[in-house]
Structure 1
Amino acid sequence: MTIEKMKNTSFEKADFDQWKSLAVDSLKGKPFTKLTTNTLEGIDIHPLYYESCNHQNTSIIQQMKEERGWIIAQQTIADDATSFLELLKASIERGNESIVYDGTNPMNWNEDELKQLASLLTEYPSYMFNIDSGDSILRVFDLIRVESRDKVAGIVASNNWAVPEGYIKLRTRGADLWDIHHAGADAVTELAVSLATASKLATASNSFADFAAAFFVRFAIDTHFFMEIAKLRAFRILWKAFAKAYKIDDAPVIPLAAVTSIRSYSKLDPYVNLLRAGNETFAAVLGGADIITTHPHDILTGPSASSIRYSRNIQLVLREESHVGKVLDPAGGSYFIEKLTEELVRNTWTLFLEIENAGGIDGFLLDDHLLKLTAERNRELASGKKSLVGTNTYAELIEVELKDWNGIKKTERPAGMFESYRQKFATSQPETVILTFGQLKDFKPRADFVAGFLSTGGIHSKWSPAFTSANEAVAWLEKEKPDYAIVCANDETVQSVMQTLLNNRPAGIMLDVAGKFNDLLVAAWKEEGLTGTIYNGQDKIAKLQSIHELCKGGRHK
């Protein structure tokens, strides 16, 4: 085709009905609703978004963000104050832009170390979280001369600490959503709690201006990429509405700090955490966070110099390669994200009003709400509805280091179910075989599934030869004498061999079958000695525990 023909060629405009018709055809009989994903936030994620976005919301989001880009806030991780200062200076030379201190495991600071820190505080913004009012690091704010205190900017999250005079750029009262996020909160709950916390602080303050000048919000960013982008954008719209409720038309800009969540981190395959950290950091960038902290991939067991460097470089690479820091709202204009933002705003405001009607954040039964969300997350992970690569899917059969590092707040993580299981049964795994029948194409899908299923519990399995009859399998079992065997074949073959296997298998071998079969048929097999079934969507933790309970005394391989 010549360039002139290309210029004069036009295409018929496609509409949603045409797209839906093609989508339905591709589903081969499955319902169109199969393409819709339901979230814990009560939002349905549709397969296609084609309606124009709300430009008013985009305008609000841009008004509520003071500057383009973000501050790289790499946490300095050290065992003592001297090392902290050395590592802090080195990280600043390599791209870090701020002082980040976590008081979970406080250090002792002497006068000389505090003076060195004081000089840095007037040059770089500082972000200090989980600070006890008795932490010796807080004495640094008494050492800075009064005339230099207006140069100190950042956040110090410490309850019951009286801020010395002169620190007009230091924010000390806010909504740190780290705890409730790791207690199971979804995006709507985090946003609603941030507003409820703001309401409590504003009510106790002398004026809205005084409250807003000291207020900050810190969100933990999870791996639900688009939801987390929308969460940060939604807060800016909600904050504008919140201020308007206090009759403040020109809402002050509130800094949004973001930190990568460890709720989706796992000790079982820590290098996958590096990918999660990149996903979460980029979501924070696109969502418009002002300050971003990226946790090292091995933060759960103790970070190394290289993992700290990797986490810092995630932000540096994103800044240099994506250029998204050059615009105020990188995600603005995406129909999907705009719609998701709108739905988060609507659902959050409803929950916020519910919290307020219950007497505010102190009167609302938040713990009960979080327990329900946590239970649902755990169910989704245990059943495989949600994947955590390296943990509940594609698990590696290697020895894993499951120690805890005391430099970060202890949190409950969904992956903890699998970690505890692997640790408990690390030295008592049953000798396991997968009994295969027929041609490779007949049994391989189920055999692969079973091997993967068992590997999430650290159970090694080996495949048998491909048998042509049940008697061959029985003879092989007599020779191998495993603790546990799973029958893998197509449905027709399974039904033809099960009776012989059940009647003649060697004593002491636990026998399962892979796949979902008629309940009456399974019940009949169980009467003959079948232990159970393994199938997609099953509660893996419950099944794995059952295997070990029935295979006590199994040999470790």
Structure 2
Amino acid sequence: MTIDNMKKTTFEKADFNQWKELAVNSLRGKPYEALTTKTLEGIDLQPLYYERKAFDGASVVRSSKRNAGWIIAQQTIASDGADYIEQLEESIEKGNEAIVYDGEHPFNWTDDQLQKLSSFIAKFPVFYFNVRKDDAILRAFDFVHHEVRESVTGIIQVADWTVPVGYNNIRTAGADLWKAHHDGADAVTELAIALSEASRIASSSESFQAFADNFFVRLPIDTHFFMEIAKLRAFRVLWQAFAQAYGVNEPPFIPVFAVTSLRSFSKLDPNVNMLRAGNETFAAILGGADVIQAHPHNILTGPNASSIRNSRNMQLVLKEEAHVEKVLDPAGGSYFIEQLTEELVEKSWKLFLEIESKGGINPFLASGRLEENFLKLQNEIATGKRSLIGTNVYAELTSTNFDEWGGINQIARLSEPFEKLRQSFSENQPKTVLLTFGKLKDFKPRADFVTSFLASGGIKSSWSPAFENVEQAVEWLDTEKPDYAIVCGKDEIVSAEMESLLEKLPADIMLDVAGKIDQNTMHKWKQLGLNGMIFNRQNKIEKLQSVLTSWQGGTRE
């Protein structure tokens, strides 16, 4: 084909029905609706986003962000003032762009150290969270020369603190969603709480402008990549609607500080946390955050120089190599993200109005909705509906001698029940075998599943030889003397051999079967001595806790 013919070639535009037909053909008999996923927010994620009307809030997202790009805000983690100055100086030399401090664990400062810190405050934006008004680090602002104070920007989260004279660009009142997020808030709830908190603060301000000039929002970013992108974009639209309710058609700029969530972080396999943090950081960038703080992957057990450098470099690589800081709204134009943004806006505004109608933020937080959401998340992790790599799936049986680090306060995390089980079984490990029947192809899928199921709770298992009959299995059990065995094989093989196996089973062996058995059969087998079963979508925490209790001498299930 010549170049002239190529230029004249056209392609027929595929319509939605053609795309849907392709999707249905790939399902091999399953309905198209099976590809729809319902989120914790009550939003149905569709398998195809082919075409839709323009999102009315798209222009708002772009116009309400002051500049393309973001500030890299690397938290300085130190043991004292001297260490803080040293770590801060090094991080700034290597790409950090802000002064970040968590006041949960304050330490002492000398005047010389505060003088040195003040020289950084005069040059870089400041982000202090969870600070008490008697924290000595606040005295550093007194050392900054008056003529440069006007140029100092940032956020100081501290109650009842009077900002020193001259600092007109420091924000002190905002919506910090860190606690609500880790208590169980989903994206809709976080956005609604942010608006409700803004309403509370605005009601006590002398004017909307005075309120807006002092307001900020801090949003944790979780691992649901597209939802978190849409959440950040939705806040921009919601902020405009909020301002318009006060009669302000062109709302002032509000900085959005994004911080990687620890809700999905785990002590069990901290290296996977690096992937989680990378996912969350990139979502924050594409969502248009103004400032981004990424936690080191081993923040739960104690960060080191290497992990701190890696968390900083994630942002540097994205800035220097992906060039996403040059685009004002990187996610704009995606049918999926635009529609998800719009749905979040609608649901969040509706919930915000509901919160306000019922007395504001405090009654809502006391209602138990966050706790209910967190229990749903925990149940999804426990049943495998939601994956937590390295914890409830693909668990690696490594040491559970976790280092305890006091640099971060206790927060609710989804992996904690598995961490506790792993520690319990590390101290009291039953000798566990998978009792396999038939050919490899008959039992391998279930044996692989059971091996992974047990590993998530810290139980190491081994496979028996493939047995042809019960007599071979019993003879092997008499020799190996395991504490706990799980029968793995095809349903027809297991059904034919189970009663005979239970009658001949050596004493003191706890026996489970892989697969979901009907109630009548299970009742009969339990009367013969079967402990229980292991199957897909079973609550792993409840089952493994039952195994632990039985192993420790309790009553079997």
TM-score for the superposition, normalised by structure 1: 0.97
* Structure 2 Cα separation of the partners of residues 3 and 474 of structure 1: 76
* Structure 2 Cα separation of the partners of residues 417 and 249 of structure 1: 48
* Structure 1 Cα separation of the partners of residues 28 and 463 of structure 2: 33
Equivalent residues in 2 for 1:475-490, closer than 5 Å = 475-490=475-490
Q: Determine the structure 2 residue equivalent to 1:496.
A: 496
* Structure 2 Cα separation of the partners of residues 164 and 301 of structure 1: 37
Q: What is the identity, as a one-letter code, of the residue corresponding to 1:306?
A: S
**Alignment pair present for 1:269 and 2:269:** yes
Q: Deviations over 1:358-397 (max 9, x none)?
A: 1111232445010110110000000011000000111111
SS of match in other structure, 1:363? helix
**Alignment pair present for 1:27 and 2:27:** yes
Shift of residue 55 of structure 1?
4.5
Shift of residue 12 of structure 1?
2.9
Shift of residue 4 of structure 1?
4.6
Equivalent residues in 2 for 1:95-494, closer than 5 Å = 95-366=95-366, 368-494=368-494
Q: Which deviates more from structure 2 when the two are superposed, residues 16-25 or residues 543-552?
A: 16-25
TM-score for the superposition, normalised by structure 2: 0.97
Q: Which deviates more from structure 2 when the two are superposed, residues 402-411 or residues 525-534?
A: 402-411
Q: Deviations over 1:221-275 (max 9, x none)?
A: 0000000000000000000000000000110010000011111100000000000
* Structure 1 Cα separation of the partners of residues 168 and 95 of structure 2: 27
* Structure 1 Cα separation of the partners of residues 444 and 189 of structure 2: 43
Q: Any conservation in 2 of the 1:178–1:220 contact (CA below 8 Å)?
A: yes
Q: Which deviates more from structure 2 when the two are superposed, residues 383-392 or residues 1-10?
A: 1-10
* Structure 2 Cα separation of the partners of residues 40 and 537 of structure 1: 18
Q: Deviations over 1:492-541 (max 9, x none)?
A: 11111111111101011111110112222222211211111100100001
Shift of residue 401 of structure 1?
3.2
* Structure 2 Cα separation of the partners of residues 553 and 368 of structure 1: 36
SS of match in other structure, 1:512? strand
Q: Any conservation in 2 of the 1:484–1:511 contact (CA below 8 Å)?
A: yes
* Structure 2 Cα separation of the partners of residues 486 and 362 of structure 1: 50
Q: What is the identity, as a one-letter code, of the residue corresponding to 2:250?
A: D
Q: Any conservation in 1 of the 2:432–2:482 contact (CA below 8 Å)?
A: yes
Q: Determine the structure 2 residue equivalent to 1:69.
A: 69
* Structure 1 Cα separation of the partners of residues 410 and 354 of structure 2: 30
Q: Any conservation in 2 of the 1:53–1:339 contact (CA below 8 Å)?
A: no
Shift of residue 25 of structure 1?
2.6
Q: Any conservation in 2 of the 1:429–1:548 contact (CA below 8 Å)?
A: no
SS of match in other structure, 1:130? strand
Q: What is the identity, as a one-letter code, of the residue corresponding to 1:536?
A: N
* Structure 2 Cα separation of the partners of residues 226 and 312 of structure 1: 22
Q: What is the identity, as a one-letter code, of the residue corresponding to 1:307?
A: S
Q: What is the identity, as a one-letter code, of the residue corresponding to 1:118?
A: S
Q: Which deviates more from structure 2 when the two are superposed, residues 393-402 or residues 275-284?
A: 393-402
* Structure 2 Cα separation of the partners of residues 235 and 384 of structure 1: 31
SS of match in other structure, 1:362? helix
Q: Deviations over 1:263-295 (max 9, x none)?
A: 110000000000001000000000000000110
Q: Determine the structure 1 residue equivalent to 2:43.
A: 43
Q: Any conservation in 2 of the 1:300–1:405 contact (CA below 8 Å)?
A: yes
Number of residue pairs matched by the alignment: 554
Q: Which deviates more from structure 2 when the two are superposed, residues 27-36 or residues 375-384?
A: 27-36
Q: Deviations over 1:403-427 (max 9, x none)?
A: 3321122201010111111123321
Q: What is the identity, as a one-letter code, of the residue corresponding to 1:210?
A: A
Q: Any conservation in 2 of the 1:53–1:333 contact (CA below 8 Å)?
A: no
Q: Determine the structure 2 residue equivalent to 1:94.
A: 94
Shift of residue 402 of structure 1?
2.3
Query: Structure 1 pair 508/292, CA: closer, same or farther in 2 (3 Å)?
Result: same
Q: Any conservation in 2 of the 1:402–1:423 contact (CA below 8 Å)?
A: no
SS of match in other structure, 2:67? coil
Q: Any conservation in 2 of the 1:72–1:97 contact (CA below 8 Å)?
A: yes
* Structure 2 Cα separation of the partners of residues 533 and 381 of structure 1: 19
Q: Determine the structure 1 residue equivalent to 2:13.
A: 13
SS of match in other structure, 1:434? strand
Q: Any conservation in 1 of the 2:222–2:263 contact (CA below 8 Å)?
A: yes
Q: Deviations over 1:312-363 (max 9, x none)?
A: 0000001112111101110000000000000000000000001100111123
Query: Structure 1 pair 367/293, CA: closer, same or farther in 2 (3 Å)?
Result: farther
Q: Which deviates more from structure 2 when the two are superposed, residues 77-86 or residues 6-15?
A: 6-15
Q: What is the identity, as a one-letter code, of the residue corresponding to 1:547?
A: V
* Structure 1 Cα separation of the partners of residues 97 and 479 of structure 2: 66
Q: Any conservation in 2 of the 1:53–1:334 contact (CA below 8 Å)?
A: no
Q: What is the identity, as a one-letter code, of the residue corresponding to 2:166?
A: G
* Structure 2 Cα separation of the partners of residues 50 and 184 of structure 1: 32
* Structure 2 Cα separation of the partners of residues 221 and 19 of structure 1: 32
* Structure 2 Cα separation of the partners of residues 432 and 363 of structure 1: 50
Q: Deviations over 1:67-91 (max 9, x none)?
A: 1100000011110110100110111
Q: What is the identity, as a one-letter code, of the residue corresponding to 2:407?
A: G
Q: Deviations over 1:174-220 (max 9, x none)?
A: 01111111111100111001000000000000000110011000100
* Structure 2 Cα separation of the partners of residues 367 and 90 of structure 1: 46
Q: Any conservation in 2 of the 1:237–1:345 contact (CA below 8 Å)?
A: yes
Q: Show structure 1 runs of 5+ residues with no match.
A: none
Shift of residue 7 of structure 1?
3.7
Shift of residue 442 of structure 1?
0.8
Query: Structure 1 pair 114/49, CA: closer, same or farther in 2 (3 Å)?
Result: same
Q: Show structure 2 runs of 5+ residues with no match.
A: none
* Structure 1 Cα separation of the partners of residues 377 and 55 of structure 2: 34
Q: What is the identity, as a one-letter code, of the residue corresponding to 2:432?
A: T
SS of match in other structure, 1:425? helix
Q: Any conservation in 1 of the 2:20–2:48 contact (CA below 8 Å)?
A: no
